Chain A
Amino acid sequence: MKPRLKILHLVLIPIAMFGFGYLMVPIYDIFCDITGLNGKTGSISQAEAELLETDTERRVRVEFISALNRNAPWDFHPDVKSMRVTPGKPYTTSYTATNRLDRLMTGQAVPSVAPAKAASYFNKTECFCFVQQTFEPRESRQMPLVFVVDPDLPDDINTLTLSYTFFDVNSRIN
């Protein structure tokens, strides 16, 4: 190989690796999707949920918790602290958020399930976290959530904790 060509090849490696750094973003997302690594929950359609078999023998405890990112100006909490559910059956619950400010505020809830191993078995057919939520000044609102726990949930998991963190996304919109 000619020296000039070799050096050209050497220059291509850093360029390719710069691209690889960015490629790690979708790779990470796919990897997390398969393994549930980052605790992100799944979502399925109503029709899919109805096809799930119900495991009437089993009861799983689902706990609900809430958090605010960097003191976002909301009151935000689950309406029910925990439920005992039958895997395969859809359940409805809700979270309530109150805008503490005198102006229009938009927030985004981000879910996470612990243990991470269970994340991919926790599916939602309807969730306030699917879209950004806009609040009138001082508005308080109940936000519904419909979920179903997959009957294939591993036997050693008896308790799931669903956490929502509420982010202030006004700065991203403006």
Chain B
Amino acid sequence: MNAYAVDHSHDDHHDHGPPPGLMRWVTTTNHKDIGTLYLWFSLIMFFIGGLMALVIRTELFQPGLQIVDPHFFNQMTTLHALVMIFGVIMPAFVGLANWMLPMMVGAPDMALPRMNNWSFWILPFGFSIMLSTLFMEGGGPASGWTIYPPLVLQTGDALPYLIFSIHILGVSSIMGAINIIATIMNLRAPGMTYMKMPLFVWTWFITAYLLIAVMPVLAGAVTMLLTDKFFGTSFFDAAGGGDPVMFQHIFWFFGHPEVYILILPAFGIVSEIIPTFSRKKLFGYTSMVYATASIAFLSFIVWAHHMFTVGMPLAGEMFFMFSTMLIAVPTGVKVFNWVSTMWKGAMTFETPMLFALGFVIMFTIGGFSGLMLAMTPIDFQYHDTYFVVAHFHYVLVPGAVFAIVGGVYYWLPKWTGNMYDEKLGKAHFWLSTIFVNILFFPMHFVGLAGMPRRIPDYAVQFTDFNQVATIGAFGFGFAQILLLVVVVKCIRGGEKATDQVWEGAHGLEWTVASPAPYHTFSPQPVVK
């Protein structure tokens, strides 16, 4: 964009690259290295969590108990969720933020580079602890990722390990979030005012605030579980004057903002991709920023829509129903803005754009089923059925995951200096899109027909749709190997990418060389 004037003098001195050897990755404080670490970690966890999902789907291929016992099945549903939420989507977003945020705002690195190293490196330890519970006496946690008492308190030796691993993951994401806020507040290039920041930066700025506000609440809730189990407190034990329903309130006070933590950065990524391939400026930039902020604000006052069936007073159910439906307004603003950006644009359909378009359409499907669930009287039928499973998988898989994958394709040439294999990328998109719908769409039907979630066995009339879903699961799972192939191929070589990479790409990150040098923007650029 002509508005950016960049000092290119720093390209001339490549005085210090990364140190050689494995210790580079352990001791690194470079935002690009740490971003890479986060993204690889996320990809590995994606395959681990995916394998757990395939165990679930294989068991559900037929009614009756086939390959795993119910207790292990429950461990799989619990850990699949925890891995996918805390080990895949959140680290992937933090990885993308690490790589792109400093380059987008014209900063030389993250504001707190040593803390950055720490916030990544405690993650593998946290997950080692969590996954090691599978091999313990009594098995891993099997209460569902929502860890409701009193059920979760019946967990065997795994309980304290689960709680400490959640503490570690919380500390990691709080540190990551503080780092992101500090970077955005302190290290923006001269002239990069708040309302000139790219939307990915804006959505992450707001997400980071959500993170530091709610992750500590989760930490508090699990600490209460710990003291209830081992130190004789009665936060959730009715015999001692506590109330198990209170856990649900505290958990969802964290849990609902958490689901926006999982989607707001995805909004940001899509808001970067769509203008590039429509060759138009983003429609309604200001309204996008305010819509994001409104969604974040509303997320704090809607939590009890996850628990309509616990027996709330009518006034409470009405309040949570209407405040939830209100979220559809800013979300609708976003969807219409994306569509308006494409309107009369000179569109092309490279892989990142395909993933962004898939996101807009399929996330909207998930949004609509969410709106259905928001209606209290109807929720009594849908509550804890596969309809809920279909809903949140639509917003998280073809929603958040598609946005992340689209972002990876979009920025991969900038990271590696090579173009990825467009044919394989497109194949990856189409296979993923077809199979993800085969996988999750039938779940709507079995859910409406009354199949409960989190069960290893089901009534025979649900067999057909479950078999279709299982076929979709394997197709979707194997299609993701293509992603790994494309990424590895792109790192090893390929057509050289230009600095701008995409014809319609604008912004500071596209003014630096491809691959992005180890240190960028040491003399800060000036944005006019």
Contact = CB atoms under 8 A, between A and B. Distances in A.
Given A3-B186, A18-B220, A116 B311 contact: yes
Contacts of A11: 178
Interface stretch (A19-27, A58-66, A74-82, A94-102): A19-27
Nearest to A17: B216
A6 B212 contact: no
Interface in B366-404: none
A46 B261 CA distance: 53
B215 A6 contact: no
Contact of A18 (B217, B239, B249): B217
B239 A7 contact: no
A143 interface: no
Given A14-B215, A24-B249, A167-B239, A7 B182 contact: yes
Nearest to A36: B313
Interface in B190-238: 212-221, 224, 232, 234-235, 238
Contacts of B224: 21-22, 25
Interface string A3-14: 100110011011
A118 B217 CA distance: 32
A13 B212 contact: yes
A28 B212 contact: no
A17 B312 contact: no
A18 B219 contact: yes
A172 B232 CA distance: 6
A10 B178 contact: yes
Given A110-B239, A116-B313, A14 B186 contact: no
A21 B219 contact: yes
Contact of B182 (A3, A39, A69): A3
A24 B236 CA distance: 13
Nearest to A169: B239
Nearest to B208: A10
A114 to B, nearest CB: 8
A20 B178 contact: no
B360 interface: no
A38 interface: yes
Contacts of A165: 238
Interface bin, chain A: 20 to 34
Nearest to A7: B182
A3 B213 CA distance: 20
B112 interface: yes
Contacts of B238: 69, 110, 165, 167
B253 interface: yes
Contacts of A146: none
A89 interface: no
B326 interface: no
Contacts of B186: 3, 6
B212 A14 contact: yes
A35 interface: yes
A14 B313 contact: no
Given A110-B238, A165-B238, A167-B238, A17 B213 contact: yes
How many B residues are at the interface, by size bracket?
A: 35 or more
Interface stretch (B70-78, B88-96, B240-248): B240-248
B185 interface: yes
Contacts of B296: none
Contact of A25 (B181, B185, B246): B246
A117 to B, nearest CB: 7
A167 B224 CA distance: 20
Given A14-B215, A116-B311, A172-B239, A22 B232 contact: no
A123 to B, nearest CB: 18
A7 B212 contact: no
B213 A24 contact: no
Interface string A106-139: 0010100000110000000000000000000000
Contacts of B182: 3, 6-7, 10
A47 interface: no
B216 A15 contact: yes
Contacts, number: 89
A11 B182 CA distance: 11
Interface in B105-119: 111-112
Contacts of A145: none
A7 B311 contact: no
A169 to B, nearest CB: 5
Nearest to B312: A37
Interface string B258-296: 000000000000000000000000000000000000000
B56 interface: no
Interface in B56-72: none
Of listed A117, A165, A172, residue having the most chain B CB within 10 A: A172
B243 A21 contact: no
Contacts of B232: 172
B250 interface: yes
Contacts of B250: 21, 24
A38 B235 CA distance: 14
Contacts of A14: 174, 178, 212-213, 215-216
A69 B185 contact: no
Given A10-B182, A38-B243, A28 B249 contact: yes
Contacts of A15: 216
A37 B239 contact: no
B178 A7 contact: yes
Given A17-B215, A20-B220, 15 more contacts: A3-B186, A10-B181, A10-B182, A14-B212, A14-B213, A17-B217, A19-B220, A21-B218, A24-B217, A28-B246, A39-B311, A69-B238, A110-B238, A169-B239, A169-B240
Interface of B: 111-112, 174, 178, 181-182, 185-186, 212-221, 224, 232, 234-235, 238-240, 243, 245-246, 249-250, 253, 311-313, 316
27 contacts: A3-B186, A6-B182, A7-B178, A10-B178, A10-B182, A10-B212, A13-B213, A14-B212, A17-B212, A17-B213, A17-B214, A17-B215, A18-B216, A19-B220, A20-B220, A21-B220, A21-B224, A21-B253, A24-B249, A28-B249, A37-B312, A37-B316, A108-B239, A117-B313, A172-B232, A172-B234, A172-B240
Q: In the A-B complex, list the 4 residue pairs whose CB atoms are closest, starting with the nearest.
A: A21-B220, A167-B239, A18-B216, A17-B216
